[in-house]
Amino acid sequence: MGEQVEQLKKHLQRYYDLNAAAALLGWDQQVNMPPGGAAARGEQSATLSALSHELFTAEETARRLEAAEAEVAGMEFDADDASLVRVLRRHYDRATKIPTELVAERAKVTALAFEAWRQARAENNVALFEPHLERVIEVTRRIADALGYEEHPYDALLQNFEPGMRTSQVSRLFNDLKAGLTPLLQAITERGKPIDDSFLGRHYDVGRQWDFTLVILRDMGYDFNRGRQDQAPHPFTTNFGRNDVRLTTRLISDRPQSALFSSVHEGGHALYEQGSPERFERTALSGGATMALHESQSRLWENMIGRSKPFWQHYFPILRAFFPEQLADVRLDDFYRAVNVVRPDFIRTEADEVTYNLHIFIRFELEQALLSGALTAREVPEAWNARYQDYLGITPRDDAEGCLQDVHWSSGLIGYFPTYALGNLIAAQLYRRMKADLPGMEEGFARGEFLPPLQWLREHVHRHGSKFTAPELLARELGEEISAEPLLEYIRARYSEIYEL
Ligand code: MG
- Write out the DSSP string of 104-153: HHHHHHHHHHHHHHHHHHHHT-GGGTHHHHHHHHHHHHHHHHHH--SS-H
Question: What's the CA-to-centroid distance between 383 and ligand 1, angstroms?
Answer: 27
Asked if 296 and 374 sit in the same domain, the reply is yes
Asked whether the beta carbons of 305 and 429 are under 8 A apart, the reply is no
Asked if 416 and 485 sit in the same domain, the reply is yes
Asked if 118 and 212 sit in the same domain, the reply is no
pLDDT band at 103 (very low <50, low <70, confident <90, very high): confident
Asked whether the beta carbons of 345 and 394 are under 8 A apart, the reply is yes
176: in domain: yes
pLDDT band at 78 (very low <50, low <70, confident <90, very high): very high
Asked if 12 and 50 sit in the same domain, the reply is yes
pLDDT at 386 over 80: yes
Asked if 132 and 174 sit in the same domain, the reply is no
Q: Pick the more confident residue, 36 or 310.
A: 310
Identify the domain boundary among 148, 183, 205: 148
CATH number at residue 425: 1.10.1370.30
Any bridge partners for residue 229, and if so which? Answer: 247
For this structure, is 266 an active site residue?
Answer: yes
Question: What's the CA-to-centroid distance between 299 and ligand 1, angstroms?
Answer: 7
162: in domain: no
| Residue 287 to residue 207: CA distance in whole angstroms | 32
pLDDT tens by residue, 252-290: 999 999 999 999 999 999 999 999 999 999 999 999 999
pLDDT tens by residue, 419-444: 999 999 999 999 999 999 999 999 99
Question: What's the CA-to-centroid distance between 95 and ligand 1, angstroms?
Answer: 24
pLDDT at 199 over 80: yes
Question: What's the CA-to-centroid distance between 60 and ligand 1, angstroms?
Answer: 35
Asked if 123 and 171 sit in the same domain, the reply is no
Question: What's the CA-to-centroid distance between 258 and ligand 1, angstroms?
Answer: 14
The number of distinct structural domains making up the chain is 2
Range picked from 50-54, 115-119, 373-377 for highest mean pLDDT = 373-377
| Residue 144 to residue 31: CA distance in whole angstroms | 34
408 backbone dihedrals φ, ψ, rounded to 5°: -50, -55
242: in domain: yes
Percent of the chain with pLDDT over 90: 89
pLDDT tens by residue, 63-72: 999 999 999 9
Question: What's the CA-to-centroid distance between 237 and ligand 1, angstroms?
Answer: 8
Asked if 140 and 181 sit in the same domain, the reply is no
325: in domain: yes
Question: What's the CA-to-centroid distance between 263 and ligand 1, angstroms?
Answer: 11
153: in domain: no
Question: What's the CA-to-centroid distance between 285 and ligand 1, angstroms?
Answer: 20
Question: What's the CA-to-centroid distance between 245 and ligand 1, angstroms?
Answer: 14
pLDDT at 214 over 80: yes
Asked if 332 and 392 sit in the same domain, the reply is yes
Confidence (pLDDT) at 46 = 83
> Which member of 71, 266, 295, 302 is catalytic?
266
Average pLDDT value over all residues in the chain: 95
Closest by CA to 101, choosing from 89, 93, 109, is 109
Confidence (pLDDT) at 416 = 95
160: in domain: no
CATH number at residue 118: 1.20.58
Q: Which domain holds residue 314?
A: 167-498
430: in domain: yes
| Beta-carbon neighbours within 5 Å of ion ligand 1 | 298
Identify the domain boundary among 92, 114, 148: 148
Confidence (pLDDT) at 1 = 66
Asked if 133 and 174 sit in the same domain, the reply is no
Confidence (pLDDT) at 41 = 85
Asked if 340 and 220 sit in the same domain, the reply is yes
128: in domain: yes
User: Cα dihedral sign for 101, 103, 107, 113?
Assistant: positive
Asked if 223 and 313 sit in the same domain, the reply is yes
Asked whether the beta carbons of 141 and 451 are under 8 A apart, the reply is no
Question: What's the CA-to-centroid distance between 431 and ligand 1, angstroms?
Answer: 17
Question: What's the CA-to-centroid distance between 486 and ligand 1, angstroms?
Answer: 20
Asked if 62 and 209 sit in the same domain, the reply is no
Identify the domain boundary among 148, 175, 203: 148
Question: What's the CA-to-centroid distance between 294 and ligand 1, angstroms?
Answer: 7
User: Cα dihedral sign for 323, 324, 326, 328?
Assistant: positive
